Amino acid sequence: MELLGKGRFSSGLMNIADNIIFAAGTVAPVFIIITAGYVSRRLKIINENFVDITSRFVFNVSLPVFIFLKLVDLDLSEAISASEVIYIYLATILSFFLLLLISSTLIKNGRDRASFLQGAFRGNFAIIGLAVVANLFGREALGDATVLLAFIIPLYNVLAVIALTIPLHKDKKINMKATIMEILLNPLVVSVIIGLPFSFFKIRLPGILLESGNYISDLALPMALVGIGGSLNLKSIRKASKLAFFSSAVKLVILPAFLSAGAYVAGFRGEELGIMFILFACPTAIVSFIMAETMGANSKLAGNIVLVSTMGSIFTLSAGIMVLRGLSLI
């Protein structure tokens, strides 16, 4: 009996070690590329201009082509899980308005509250999320993840406008036409709108266009990750406020824990649950800083939230994957 007990204990330790190694191996490649961008910026191999240009290229060209090609390859009748989309929408909307209510009582300054709120819900699934999904489930899982991305992008944009408008109590009315056009003309949304008919009607691209598109789309994730690394300024972490850490904790720990638990209770398992966890647990999207600056929120706080959440997600994503795998849920 004693030997049997020791054997089970050793087996348990080995399983824990395996899960730690697996989780670290899934997340590490993403952040190694980010580190390469950071080191390159510090060594002046790349500069701020390079980061700005490549970020615009990824957002306006490479990533939309990536999303378009993934949609073209999908059989939408098999790829779309209505229950998955409904749960993600309900979870995101309910958590957003709960955060809006809580932040209105805890944070008095409107500019701070706007940046806190956007940072706490808007994840970088398009870049870091897809990269982690590919490492965790293989590149074939990117099709399903891209479909979810197609649905979540418009929702994130609408909620971001609300987050950056209500707390600021602006006197002027929201220009709904301009806001709707801004959402619809988002390059990622445009790629979805164009890609869906190709997928639905099973339209195949000419070989030369497909090959060229693949070259461009292959640049999307690695170039975006290098850009994230190049934009990081670790010295800012020391100056980051409590609100930046609080918002990051909500984004990386509180929401992923509750929303993933809710997904489990709702019956999601395996790849579906894993992808949803990654979506909820991604660090704050870089575009939140740009929108905060444009709409008059506290852009410094927004930038610090992006930085803190990006660095923190190295550990929280790894821990979450380790737990889910240890419980045999993914």
The model's confidence at residue 132, banded by pLDDT at 50, 70 and 90, is very high
Range name among 69-83, 115-129, 274-288, 304-318 with the lowest pLDDT average = 69-83
**Mean local confidence (pLDDT), 252-262:** 97
Q: What percent of the chain has pLDDT over 90?
A: 46
Q: What is the pLDDT of residues 183-220, one digit of tens each?
A: 778 888 888 889 888 888 888 889 899 999 999 999 88
From residue 147, give the alpha-carbon distance in Å to each of 11, 81, 198, 260, 281: 39, 9, 14, 19, 18
pLDDT digits (tens, 9 = 90+) for 72-103: 887 766 666 789 999 999 999 999 999 999 99
pLDDT in tens, 138-190: 988 888 898 888 889 889 988 988 898 888 765 445 566 776 777 778 888 88
**Residue type at 229?**
G
The mean pLDDT of 261-270, rounded to a whole number, is: 95
What confidence score (pLDDT) does residue 74 get? Answer: 77
Average pLDDT on 318-329 reads 93
Residue that wins the pLDDT comparison between 308 and 240: 308
Q: What is the pTM of this model?
A: 0.85
Q: How confident is the model at residue 232 (pLDDT cuts 50, 70, 90)?
A: confident
Predicted confidence (pLDDT) per residue in 19-71, tens digit: 778 888 889 898 999 999 999 999 999 998 998 898 889 888 998 999 899 88
Q: How many CB atoms lie within 10 A of CB 56?
A: 12
Q: What are phi and psi of 284, to 5 degrees?
A: -60, 140
Q: Give the pLDDT score at 2.
A: 54
Which one is predicted more confidently, 293 or 10?
Answer: 293
**Structural domain spans, the chain:** 18-326
Those residues whose C-beta lies under 8 Å from the C-beta of residue 320, and which sit 6 or more positions away, are 256, 260, 277, 281
1.20.1530.20, 3.40.50.300, 3.50.50.60, 1.10.760.10: CATH of 18-326: 1.20.1530.20
pLDDT value for 236: 76
Spell out the long-range contacts of 109-114 with Cβ–Cβ below 8 A and sequence spacing 24 or more.
109/298, 110/167, 110/168, 110/169, 111/167, 111/168, 111/296, 111/297, 111/298, 111/301, 112/243, 112/298, 112/301, 113/167, 114/163, 114/164, 114/165, 114/166, 114/167, 114/168, 114/292, 114/295, 114/297, 114/298
Q: Is 44 exposed, middle or buried (0-12, 13-18, 19+ CB in 10 A)?
A: exposed
